[in-house]
Structure 1
Amino acid sequence: MSSLIALPARARAHLNAADVSLARGGRPVLTGVDVTVSPGDRLGVVGENGRGKTTLLRVLAGTLAPDSGSVHRAGTLGVADQEMPSGDHRTVGDLIDVELRQVRAVLRDFEAATLALAEDRPGAGETYAEALAAAEAIGAWEADRRVDVSLAALGAVADRDRPLAELSVGQRYRIRLACLLGAGHDLLLLDEPTNHLDASGLDHLTAKLREHPGGVVLVSHDRALLSDVVTTVLDLDPTSDGRPRVYGGGYAGYREGQRAERERWETAYRDQQNERHRLAQDLSAAQNRLSTGWRPEKGTGKHTRATRAPALVRAVHRRQEELEAHVVDVPKPPLRFQLPDLATFPGATLLRADEVTVRGRLTGPASVLLRSGDRLVVTGPNGSGKSTLLAVLGGVLEPGTGSVQRRRGARIGLLAQESPQPSRRPAFEVFEAAVGRRVSEGRLAGSERIGLGQLGLLPSGAAHRPVRELSIGQQRRLDLAILLAARPHVVLLDEPTNHLSMALVDELTDALGATGAAVVLATHDRQLLRDTAGWPRLAVS
């Protein structure tokens, strides 16, 4: 038995990936990824949908070979994919045994070594010492108890005779996660582990990851988990040189570093564009001088004017060479969200709801009073009526009891949790049609009309594709663009972070905090709740 196995997880866990690249269908998915994870490191992997986060996790786990580069691992490995197969005949106990198979193997080795020692076989003492050290290194005798603790904390089924086929995907996922947290692995690779977890489960996961002595690689969009857990962040989103970036200082360091990197990128791109524009203007001016140099005015000595031609020709050629030599090697930066100026009615009551209820959907009477600049966060468990209340405020749903009053001329915009049925039309046409209707109906002045590109929510390529071909996140961005283009006085947002990238959520949160419009949020997002901690709360139940 290797002496490395006898070392505690803090000493033996190590994961290194060097210059890893991988393409699928001719499209680069990973390019030049460098990652090192040592004991005590908790690496967060972030990026937009489709940037290769899950692919990278599979490469690190060894289930997918990169096209180039290398991956080296030391220590035991526990992996949680997003996908969770059901298995038709296995039980909860079978799944636990599979996830704890290494623990079971170590205990079998220890039992065999104990028997050999009792029978006084040659070399039994050394074998027993190694087997004991291996079992102690992973706390093998406590593994099942640790799993039971995590099963209870995650709200998972603990009955080991229960068939997996009777359980939901979420239940099976929580069982596997509990096993991984209790198995004592040196390295944990987790893909969106907050899926299917409630508040207490999230707290347990956070605590277990923070105290894990080995290494952790965490793929997640959960900003609160990243903020609470990670020590380093790998960002797979596009950069000026096309290579991923690694940021130290935890999630806060990542946000600060990414912001600085983005500003440098935008500055370099702008400087190159400005320089190319200047060179083009110089060439145009030189060409104009050459043209006028060949057309002397009447009564002047054309031979005198003609002698200037060679110098002007040389100037034109020089400017052409300078322009051709100026290569714009900094790619255009990603879009940055721009919140339009939203309308206000200073001092006036925009919306008032008194003791509203909706039978079967919003049982507790809720009251809301909004003026320009007001902020409100609606909280409550699933099914408590948060979405119903926003629908009532937005005029989409009539209250069963109580009343709602809206100021005449006040524009109220609602972003629902789910996007409408996607259209076959291009996104920009859907956007223009929605804005055009508001203008023609007199609900929006023509001078207030803005284009889709001005909001920084969809790149040109996506804007010209049919909505039904866009990703869920891109459809969500289109919904947000249509809402904000209406210049609402009251902005109602139902779970606004759903399907949006972390960068956009941060930009949106900052913008909403500064706008003069009234803003109401309904959310479970822990980081958004933290970021809006100073906003008034309305708890529905």
Structure 2
Amino acid sequence: MPPSLHISALAAGFGARPLIADLDLVVGPGDVIAAVGPNGAGKSTLLRIVAGEHVPDSGAVRTSPADATVGYLPQSPPRGDETILEYAARRTGVAAAQAEFDCATAALTAGEYGADDRYAVALERWLALGGGDLDARLGETLARVGLDVAPDKPLGELSGGQAARASLASILLSRHDILLLDEPTNNLDQAGLGVLAAYLRVVSGPVVVASHDRRFLDDVATAVLELDLHQQAVNHYTGGWSEYRAAKALARSQAVAAYETYTAERGTLIARARRQGEWAAKGRAQKADLGPHGGIAKKYAEDQAKRMDQRAARVRAAAERLETVEQPRKEWELRYTIAQAPPSADVVLTLDQVEVKRGDFRLGPVSTHLARGERVALLGPNGSGKSTLLQAILGQTPIDAGRLSWGGRVQIGTLDQSRDLLNGDDDLLDAMARALRTTDMAEVRTLLAKFGLGADAIGRPCSSLSLGERTRAGLAILQGRAVNTLILDEPTNHLDVDGIQQLEAALVAFDGTMLVVTHDRTMLDALGTTQAWRLDRRGNSANLTVEHR
């Protein structure tokens, strides 16, 4: 029987705040459902509920057949001491199946009651998840995704791009009946995105994917499930991202038109009733002016006033009988801007024969310069050294040869790939005040609140914040501290789509110099880059070429 996923009347919240209510969803074979919505809307919570890691407030989740395996691949960063093989075994479910198989084998050896049935079930599950040939398939899959490292290499020794490819490999190795993916495109290069999209287009089982990569969702999604946090609603749409946005815009325009028609019609009726009431009052005033001898005229005036009152009452009743149309709620959005410092010198940055070595890997020699006002995209596949070059430019990694110098009056704003700018034991409020070089805590609180970081977040250690929360805090720094040069490494990671679009608009409006790494194709198109610095890795070395656009 082909596997399917069935969700009925599901409700869930975070603390006292409701997130999901009355969700009904069926995901059949070959369906790829894109779960979309702002940060904090409950996408990861939904995936964890389906995976059995979180208990809903009400409702039910079932699979058909009942013993279908569900694989949940969250967006949590890999553990540094875990090898690629251990990571793949854990993410594919083989490690847990192996542990149960070992326990079942021990029980069978000990002659425990029912051990033979337990052993048979454990063996079947281990084989179904691909435990029998995982080692062999891992080598093939690593080659397929372009990760030329040994399976016993610890993940902590990989670059961010290589770790992204290891994550991709774990998805391709998965043999779960039902697959749940949480932000699988983060840090993936174009080749990796293509491999993942091709895999999802042919996968036979149900897939639910939470992603903010708009073009990727256009490539793979068969339907969209929107968790609308602002309207407290769950909405279903067919097609990919573009079809969803078009249908949502049409539905909103229709709702606005219906509300405007309702208010106009109701306003017309109420105005008519008011005029008729005024005419009745005017008639009674005229009656009072007729004096004691105008009996017939007074009676006529009173009859006319009563008729006007009756007409006004009928019109008011007609207005009340109109079917009420609620005003579409205006969705809150952050008006994001980047505070701009006075212009820098004409030459912002110079690299002269710069080399950086990391273990066996060597980057360079690199010779180029960054002029004021340039918009430069730093391109290259995962593992080619993009983050390494940015870290060297920012002084976070020492250079082994050459010269790197900054021009005058350069004020730098950064957002690193791992979001380590705000990480550690200091609480968010203190860390932000230090980053903004201010002691005005009220101002810092107000700024953080604009980015959805309220009282429940500002007192927490930065290390306890989610990657989405740290990303928003990093963007808040760029709004609160004037800069003229931006160095951004995967700035769209962990942002919801509304946040990405606000960031796009702010970057387009930014007048300064920009050096950005992003695999978000839509954003890259919007930025209008003037140069591409392209890194090409051959073996253990990488070199940079400059392309003018």
How is 1:128-143 mapped onto 2 (pairs within 5 angstroms)? 141-143=132-134
Counterpart code for 2:227 = L
Q: Does 1:37 align with 2:41?
A: no
Q: Does 1:191 align with 2:182?
A: yes
Counterpart code for 1:250 = G
2:308 corresponds in structure 1 to 312
**Equivalent of 2:218, from 216, 220, 227?**
227
2:378 corresponds in structure 1 to 379
**Equivalent of 1:321, from 317, 323, 333?**
317
Identity %: 27
Deviation at 1:425, TM superposition (A): 4.1
Deviation at 1:63, TM superposition (A): 3.5
**Equivalent of 1:245, from 225, 235, 241?**
235
2:465 corresponds in structure 1 to none
SS at match of 2:176: coil
CA distance in 2, matches of 1:24, 1:262: 28
Is the CA contact (8 Å cut-off) linking 1:290 and 1:313 kept in structure 2?
A: yes
Is the CA contact (8 Å cut-off) linking 2:279 and 2:305 kept in structure 1?
A: no
CA distance in 2, matches of 1:532, 1:198: 18
SS at match of 1:228: helix
**Equivalent of 1:532, from 487, 507, 526?**
526
SS at match of 1:264: helix
CA distance in 1, matches of 2:325, 2:239: 30
SS at match of 1:72: strand
CA distance in 2, matches of 1:497, 1:268: 36
The alignment covers a number of residue pairs equal to 449
* Alpha carbons of structure 1 residues 102 and 537: separation in structure 2 relative to 1, 3 Å: same
CA distance in 1, matches of 2:7, 2:185: 25
CA distance in 1, matches of 2:163, 2:391: 29
Counterpart code for 1:317 = A
Unaligned runs of 5+ in 1: 5-11, 112-127, 341-349, 371-375, 390-398, 406-412, 432-456
2:205 corresponds in structure 1 to 214
SS at match of 2:228: coil
Counterpart code for 1:55 = T
1:364 corresponds in structure 2 to 368
1:54 corresponds in structure 2 to 44
How is 1:101-500 mapped onto 2 (pairs within 5 angstroms)? 101=95, 141-151=132-142, 153=145, 158-160=150-152, 178-195=169-186, 197=188, 201-237=192-228, 243-296=233-286, 303=298, 305-326=301-322, 328-335=324-331, 354-357=346-349, 364-368=368-372, 376=375, 378-380=377-379, 381-382=386-387, 384-385=389-390, 400=405, 417=415, 421=433, 425=442, 497=492, 500=495
For each residue in 1:272-294, what CA deviation from the matched residue of structure 2 results, as whole angstroms up to 9, or x when unmatched? 34444444444544454444444
SS at match of 1:296: helix
Is the CA contact (8 Å cut-off) linking 1:16 and 1:71 kept in structure 2?
A: yes
* Alpha carbons of structure 1 residues 161 and 136: separation in structure 2 relative to 1, 3 Å: closer
Is the CA contact (8 Å cut-off) linking 1:154 and 1:178 kept in structure 2?
A: no
Counterpart code for 1:246 = H
Counterpart code for 2:378 = T
For each residue in 1:278-321, what CA deviation from the matched residue of structure 2 results, as whole angstroms up to 9, or x when unmatched? 44444544454444444339965783544433233334434443
Is the CA contact (8 Å cut-off) linking 1:106 and 1:140 kept in structure 2?
A: no
CA distance in 2, matches of 1:276, 1:387: 66
Is the CA contact (8 Å cut-off) linking 2:164 and 2:188 kept in structure 1?
A: no
Deviation at 1:46, TM superposition (A): 0.8
Counterpart code for 2:179 = L
CA distance in 1, matches of 2:202, 2:519: 23
* Alpha carbons of structure 1 residues 92 and 516: separation in structure 2 relative to 1, 3 Å: closer
For each residue in 1:52-78, what CA deviation from the matched residue of structure 2 results, as whole angstroms up to 9, or x when unmatched? 111211222233444024533433222
Is the CA contact (8 Å cut-off) linking 2:50 and 2:61 kept in structure 1?
A: no
Counterpart code for 1:63 = E
SS at match of 1:244: strand
SS at match of 2:24: strand
SS at match of 2:217: helix
Counterpart code for 2:369 = P
1:63 corresponds in structure 2 to 53
Is the CA contact (8 Å cut-off) linking 1:138 and 1:185 kept in structure 2?
A: yes
Counterpart code for 2:308 = L
Deviation at 1:48, TM superposition (A): 0.7
SS at match of 2:387: coil
Counterpart code for 1:81 = P
Is the CA contact (8 Å cut-off) linking 2:280 and 2:308 kept in structure 1?
A: yes
CA distance in 1, matches of 2:229, 2:255: 11
Q: Does 1:13 align with 2:18?
A: no
For each residue in 1:469-523, what CA deviation from the matched residue of structure 2 results, as whole angstroms up to 9, or x when unmatched? 996677688789889xx9x9x997957646643145447758987x898996835
CA distance in 1, matches of 2:307, 2:95: 84
CA distance in 2, matches of 1:466, 1:294: 63
SS at match of 2:75: coil
Unaligned runs of 5+ in 2: 106-119, 292-296, 337-341, 357-365, 380-385, 395-403, 416-420, 423-431, 460-467, 535-543, 545-549
Is the CA contact (8 Å cut-off) linking 1:47 and 1:235 kept in structure 2?
A: yes
SS at match of 1:528: helix
CA distance in 1, matches of 2:524, 2:202: 23
Deviation at 1:26, TM superposition (A): 4.9
CA distance in 1, matches of 2:325, 2:470: 32
Is the CA contact (8 Å cut-off) linking 1:427 and 1:465 kept in structure 2?
A: no
CA distance in 2, matches of 1:65, 1:155: 37
TM-score (norm 1): 0.61
Deviation at 1:221, TM superposition (A): 1.8
Counterpart code for 1:528 = T
* Alpha carbons of structure 1 residues 290 and 68: separation in structure 2 relative to 1, 3 Å: farther
SS at match of 1:213: coil
CA distance in 2, matches of 1:91, 1:493: 31
SS at match of 2:242: helix
TM-score (norm 2): 0.60
* Higher mean C-alpha deviation, range 499-508 or range 207-216: 499-508
Is the CA contact (8 Å cut-off) linking 2:272 and 2:315 kept in structure 1?
A: yes
* Alpha carbons of structure 1 residues 294 and 377: separation in structure 2 relative to 1, 3 Å: farther
* Alpha carbons of structure 1 residues 531 and 296: separation in structure 2 relative to 1, 3 Å: farther
